[in-house]
Amino acid sequence: MKSAKPNKQRKARYQAPLHGKRKLLGAHLAKNLREQWNKRSITLRKGDEVKVMRGKFAGENGKISKIDLKRTKIYIDSIKRKKVSGEEVHIPLSPSNILITNPVMDDPKRKKVVQRTIKKEKVE
């Protein structure tokens, strides 16, 4: 970001292209993972086990059931509310309020990201 003005920062976030918004969907790793991988945060994926750190649902654990790139929000399977009609809906949460406790490591690209930082540590 070039500008320090908050209104321009917000505008840039809202108008960012989808490949740019993907970077905004990162979250901190739990302390044990942080020490193990020598990495502070990674991007969120569907299926990751997470813990909510802030807000009304602080302390709740669950798996990510959906990620909304357009709105930069995530939905956790255990966090729902009832509508007036009785239907249960997921509540959108900000990725900045989330802590990754158990990431899904099925994807080879995600494994590569983690291995890069581990190799750097061994070389030094």
pLDDT of residue 45: 94
pLDDT of residue 124: 59
**Domain CATH number, residue 41:** 2.30.30.30
Q: Whose structure tokens read 């739990």? A: 30
What is the domain range of residue 97? 12-123
> Does the predicted TM-score (pTM) go above 0.75?
yes
Determine the residue type at 88.
E
Residue 7 within a domain: no
* Residue-wise pLDDT tens digits, 59-111: 999 999 999 999 999 999 999 999 999 999 999 999 999 999 999 999 899 99
Instruction: Read off the DSSP letter of residue 122.
Output: H
Are the C-beta atoms of residues 21 and 12 closer than 8 Å to each other? no
The mean pLDDT of 54-60, rounded to a whole number, is 95
Residue 113 within a domain: yes
Q: What's the rounded Cα separation, in Å, for the pair 95 and 2?
A: 23
Mean pLDDT of the chain: 92
Q: Quote the number of domains for the chain.
A: 1
Q: How many distinct helices (H) and strands (E) make up the chain?
A: 4, 8
Report which of 38, 42, 41, 40 is spatially closest to residue 123, judged by C-alpha positions. Answer: 38
Residue 1 within a domain: no
Residue 6 within a domain: no
Residue 5 within a domain: no
Residue 35 within a domain: yes
Residue 3 within a domain: no
Residue 2 within a domain: no
